[in-house]
């Protein structure tokens, strides 16, 4: 009951005041499922319809669920990528994930491997 109340509060405030790092393992999974996936699925789909079926494994590696995900394109931030995809990442994905996870240190390399 206590946990359900905590989760209702998390969802109720839209996730803006959650500090993901302070959640326990079950709460992390629940928050990803109830808030991060639906919020980010909507952002990704608005960018490109091929993300209509975005899942946990769009970000996390399929087999091990790792993040950073070695299957995402590797990035060299001294020579950052350009174009619509890179702009969407910098302008929407990074700031939105920082808000959702309460972590202003989250960056490209929180998801992508470093080259």
| Positions that interact with ligand HEC (CB under 6 A) | 20-21, 28-29, 32-33, 36-37, 40, 56, 58-60, 67, 72-73, 75, 80-81, 85-86, 89-90, 93-94, 97, 101, 108, 110-112
Q: Least distance to ligand HEC from the beta carbon of 17, Å?
A: 16
Structure tokens at 113: 């491997």
Rounded CA-CA distance 1/80 in Å is: 47
Q: Least distance to ligand HEC from the beta carbon of 5, Å?
A: 21
Rounded CA-CA distance 55/37 in Å is: 7
67 phi and psi, to 5 degrees?
A: -150, 125
Q: Closer to ligand HEC at the Cβ: 70 or 85?
A: 85
Rounded CA-CA distance 69/109 in Å is: 9
Q: Least distance to ligand HEC from the beta carbon of 69, Å?
A: 8
Whose CB is nearest to ligand HEC? 85
75: β partners: 114
């Amino acid at each position: 009951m206590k946990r359900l109340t905590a989760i209702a509060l998390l969802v109720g405030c839209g996730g803006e005041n959650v500090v993901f790092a302070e959640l326990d393992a079950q709460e992390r999974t629940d928050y990803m499922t109830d808030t991060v996936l639906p919020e980010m699925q909507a952002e990704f789909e608005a960018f490109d319809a091929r993300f209509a079926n975005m899942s946990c494994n769009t970000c996390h590696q399929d087999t091990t669920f790792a993040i950073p995900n070695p299957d995402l394109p590797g990035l060299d931030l001294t020579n950052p990528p350009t174009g619509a995809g890179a702009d969407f990442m910098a302008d929407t994905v990074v700031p939105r994930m920082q808000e959702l996870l309460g972590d202003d240190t989250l960056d490209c390399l929180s998801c992508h491997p470093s080259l």
